[in-house]
């Protein structure tokens, strides 16, 4: 089984995406995680661009990496300056990176109109830069920027540039679809021509501006490319880069190539979410292979079939990539959905009970509830319908006050009266808003009785107006996402009052945590 190299540029190309920013410690942590899974190359950044990238290479050189090679990225020397004297070349040399990735101009438009140099000088810049790094004993990868646009505009000119890189000592040439506008058949034509004029291997680096980065990268591999450059979750400038999560899964599971370390594919979902968390980005539910919806089934007919033969509606087993199958419950559900969802609750699976649960779901969805993204609330609903619900506390009343004047920011206070294990608790909590104040008050009242609630944190809060035609009297749906040291779960509340809707979702979240800790619900 031949191996396809995975070259990760999340820390450089990925960080150019809107809203993406990694600290130095973030970059080091991601490097270690990528190495653990068996990525071949980790591109750390451009050491001349900022002090953080410079420091990264000094720290990365001391990491006990088992497999991955750290690559430093930089441009060819400036015009009219020798490579040894060029400040960018010097930064690359001082980076301690064993692999240097040089990017150079391939498109005559950029050479003549952007760099404002002639063809001979552009070729000299490529040769000198590659040769200089090679003379220092570094492995040199040459990234041919805008190769496919350049090939379409002037094939002879583009091919000369990659031959120059080979002649100077590059071990690999990587044609780049920098603008992300190339079609798969154009990728194939240009890759074949690149290989025809080269005696060294080629890779592929695709951007996703036409939603074709994965297809284009696969086409390049099918036609001889041995390396795929991309980012985790496809993050990056504009529409992003090719998603190495999807590429790794496709190359391994669909094409039969060797990628990553043994067992690495089974950690793709974990890796995807790890990078999302570090980048402070929301998970993409519809992301292939690793998204929360990638193996989610809603239609009753689908669920009935999946329960019998899983691959009847799934292209691969979710566990292979570390994901899980989910059965969604909604007003479109049939009994099959309810049966599948309630198997873990160890309740009697009789038709009358399933119908009762389904009717309750449909009634609540008619009021504005949705349980697809609030499975913890569905767990609580099942307990209530089946008579297994025992409240951990009882709300007697609450009051929320918001005060503001013309010179100070608003202050919020919640006063909460609860019955907890037969005792009346009257507490006050302050917060940045009504929900935060209620949450703080609720914790203050419950923590003495249920200390493990200290592990639970609210990580997301969403509000949606359901019947917008009612204006400010409209009903709202609140979805709260919570987590503890082991799990993430979501709950929902609906009311004409946004504070009451938030309270309902908050209570479900606390209930779920307490039931989970008691071993009465399973993920």
Q: How far is CA 209 from CA 13, 218, 240, 320, 433, in A?
A: 14, 16, 7, 29, 40
Confidence of residue 303 (pLDDT cuts 50, 70, 90): very low
Q: How far is CA 266 from CA 1, 252, 261, 285, in A?
A: 19, 11, 10, 18
d(CA 393, CA 433): 23
Short-list 168, 125, 161, 130, CA closest to 146: 161
- The larger pLDDT score, comparing residue 112 to residue 327, is at 112
Domains in the chain: boundaries? 5-261, 360-388+455-523, 393-449
Confidence of residue 94 (pLDDT cuts 50, 70, 90): very high
Contact 511, 392 (CB under 8 A): yes
Q: What is the pLDDT of residue 158?
A: 97
Contact 42, 71 (CB under 8 A): yes
d(CA 333, CA 329): 6
Short-list 456, 476, 479, 457, CA closest to 466: 476
- In a 3-state reduction of DSSP, which class is residue 114? helix
Angle subtended by helix axes 24-37 and 51-60, to nearest 10: 40
CA 441 distance to own-chain centroid:
34
- In a 3-state reduction of DSSP, which class is residue 198? coil
Q: What does pLDDT average to over the chain?
A: 88
**Residue 57 backbone phi and psi in degrees, to 5:** -65, -35
Average pLDDT score over residue span 98-115: 94
Contact 506, 513 (CB under 8 A): no
Average pLDDT score over residue span 338-357: 63
For the sheet containing 457-465, what is the strand order? Answer: 457-465, 476-483, 488-495
Q: What is the DSSP letter of 497?
A: S
For the sheet containing 394-403, what is the strand order? Answer: 394-403, 411-420, 423-431
pLDDT digit string, tens, across residues 152-200 = 999 999 999 999 999 999 999 999 999 999 999 999 999 999 999 999 9
d(CA 477, CA 464): 5
Six-digit token string for 6: 């995975």
* N-terminal to C-terminal alpha carbon distance within the chain: 37
Short-list 258, 253, 184, 181, CA closest to 218: 184
The CATH architecture to which 5-261 belongs is Alpha-Beta Barrel (3.20)
d(CA 111, CA 107): 7
- How open is the CA angle 399-404-408, to the nearest 5 degrees? 140
- The larger pLDDT score, comparing residue 42 to residue 409, is at 42
Contact 417, 424 (CB under 8 A): yes
Q: Which burial class, exposed, middle or buried, applies to 367 when counting CB atoms under 10 A from its CB (0-12, 13-18, 19+)?
A: exposed
d(CA 329, CA 308): 18
d(CA 262, CA 36): 10
d(CA 257, CA 267): 17
Q: Which burial class, exposed, middle or buried, applies to 299 when counting CB atoms under 10 A from its CB (0-12, 13-18, 19+)?
A: middle
For domain 393-449, the question of CATH label 3.40.1010.10 is answered with no
Out of 2.40.10.340, 3.50.50.60, 3.30.160.340, 3.65.10.10, which CATH number does the structure's domain 360-388+455-523 have?
A: 3.30.160.340
Worst-scoring range by mean pLDDT, 60-64, 199-203, 333-337?
333-337
**Residue 250 backbone phi and psi in degrees, to 5:** -65, -45
Short-list 245, 250, 216, CA closest to 231: 245
Share of the chain above pLDDT 70, in %: 89
d(CA 74, CA 369): 52
Q: Is the pLDDT of residue 432 over 90?
A: no
- The larger pLDDT score, comparing residue 341 to residue 378, is at 378
Alpha helices in 98-242 (DSSP H): 108-109, 119-135, 147-153, 155-168, 184-197, 213-222
d(CA 392, CA 446): 9
Q: What is the pLDDT of residue 310?
A: 57
Contact 442, 449 (CB under 8 A): no
- In a 3-state reduction of DSSP, which class is residue 481? strand
Q: Is the pLDDT of residue 415 over 50?
A: yes
CA 170 distance to own-chain centroid:
32
- Across 311-452, the runs of DSSP E, i.e. the strands, are 326-327, 394-403, 411-420, 423-431
d(CA 501, CA 374): 14
Residues 6+ apart with CB under 8 A from 454: 443, 447
Sign of the CA dihedral running 284, 338, 321, 308: negative
Q: Is the pLDDT of residue 326 over 80?
A: no
> Is there a shared CATH topology between the 5-261 domain and the 393-449 domain?
no
pLDDT digit string, tens, across residues 209-225 = 999 999 999 999 999 99
Task: Write down the pTM of the prediction.
Answer: 0.71
Contact 494, 476 (CB under 8 A): yes
């Amino acid at each position: 089984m031949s191996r396809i190299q995975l070259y990760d540029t999340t820390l450089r190309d990925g960080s150019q995406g809107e809203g993406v920013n990694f600290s130095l410690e973030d970059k080091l942590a991601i490097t270690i995680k990528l190495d653990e899974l068996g990525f071949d190359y980790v591109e750390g950044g451009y050491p001349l661009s900022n002090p953080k990238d410079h420091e990264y290479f000094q720290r990365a050189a001391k990491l006990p990496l088992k497999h991955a090679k750290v690559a430093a990225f930089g441009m060819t020397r400036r015009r009219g300056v020798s490579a040894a004297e060029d400040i960018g070349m010097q930064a690359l040399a001082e980076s301690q990176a064993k692999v240097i990735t040089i990017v150079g101009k391939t498109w005559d438009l950029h050479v003549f109109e952007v760099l404002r140099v002639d063809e001979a000088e552009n070729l000299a810049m490529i040769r000198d830069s590659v040769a200089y790094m090679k003379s220092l004993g570094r492995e040199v990868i040459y990234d041919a920027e805008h190769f496919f646009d350049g090939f379409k505009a002037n094939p002879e000119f583009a091919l000369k540039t990659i031959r120059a890189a080979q002649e100077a000592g590059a071990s690999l040439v990587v044609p780049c679809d920098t603008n992300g506008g190339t079609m798969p058949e154009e990728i194939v034509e240009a890759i074949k021509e690149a290989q025809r004029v080269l005696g060294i291997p080629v890779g592929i680096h695709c951007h996703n501006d036409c939603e074709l980065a994965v297809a284009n990268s696969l086409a390049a591999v099918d036609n001889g490319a041995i390396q795929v450059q991309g980012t985790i979750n496809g993050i990056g400038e504009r529409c992003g880069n090719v998603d190495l999560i999807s590429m790794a899964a496709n190359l391994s599971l669909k094409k039969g190539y060797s990628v990553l370390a043994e067992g690495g594919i089974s950690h793709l979902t974990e890796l995807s979410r790890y990078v999302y968390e570090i980048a402070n980005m929301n998970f993409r539910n519809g992301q292939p292979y690793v998204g929360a919806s990638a193996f989610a089934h809603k239609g009753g007919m689908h669920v009935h079939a999946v329960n019998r033969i899983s691959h009847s509606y799934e292209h691969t087993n979710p566990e292979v990539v570390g994901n899980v199958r989910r059965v969604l419950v909604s007003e479109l559900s049939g009994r099959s959905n309810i049966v599948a969802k309630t198997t873990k609750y160890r309740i009697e699976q009789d038709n009358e009970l399933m119908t009762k649960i389904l009717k309750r779901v449909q009634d609540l969805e008619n009021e504005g509830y949705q349980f697809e993204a609030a499975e913890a609330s569905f767990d609580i609903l099942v307990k209530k319908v089946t008579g297994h619900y025992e409240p951990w506390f009882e709300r007697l009343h609450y009051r929320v006050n918001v005060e503001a004047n013309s010179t100070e920011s608003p202050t919020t206070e919640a006063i909460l009266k609860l019955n907890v294990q037969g005792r009346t608790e009257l507490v006050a909590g302050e917060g940045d808003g009504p929900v935060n104040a209620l949450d703080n008050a609720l914790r203050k009242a419950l923590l003495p009785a249920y200390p493990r609630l200290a592990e639970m944190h609210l990580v997301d809060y969403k509000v949606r107006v359901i019947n917008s035609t009612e204006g400010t009297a409209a009903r709202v749906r609140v979805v709260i996402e919570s987590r503890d040291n082991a799990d993430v779960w979501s709950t929902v509340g609906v009311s004409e009052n946004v504070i009451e809707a938030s309270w309902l979702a908050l209570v479900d979240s606390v209930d779920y945590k307490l039931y989970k800790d008691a071993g009465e619900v399973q993920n």
